[in-house]
Amino acid sequence: MTEWLAGMLVMAAGAYVAAGATFAAAFVTWGVGRIDPAARHATAGFRLIILPGVTALWPLLALRWARGSAHPPLETNAHRRAARRQP
């Protein structure tokens, strides 16, 4: 890996984290209650705890917030699919 490429990767990672931190500040203030009704009246401690995760997963949370989804998505796994197939 060249020095230039390594520098570009570090800059890209820094830009991702900066965008995530900016989004996270707004999301934990206003957005978390809009996509999860259980978190609507969350404490400041809860919001502080989720801040690193929101910073890392900001593209997914931004998409959910933009869609206006008011409930978490239902998990789909092999057990749920098998339960639906049984009479």
Q: Can you read off the two tokens belonging to residue 36?
A: 């999860």
Write the pLDDT tens digit of every residue in 17-58.
Answer: 999 999 999 999 999 988 888 888 999 999 999 999 999 999
Count of CB atoms within 10 A of residue 61's CB? 21
DSSP-assigned letter for residue 29 = I
Helix (H), strand (E) at residue 82 = helix 78-85
Distance CA 31, CA 19 (A): 16
Global confidence as pTM: 0.76
**Is pLDDT above 70 for 8?**
yes
- Side chain identity at 81, as an amino acid letter? R
Q: What is the distance in angstroms between the CA of the first residue and the CA of the last residue of the chain?
A: 57
In this predicted structure, what is the pLDDT of residue 55? Answer: 97
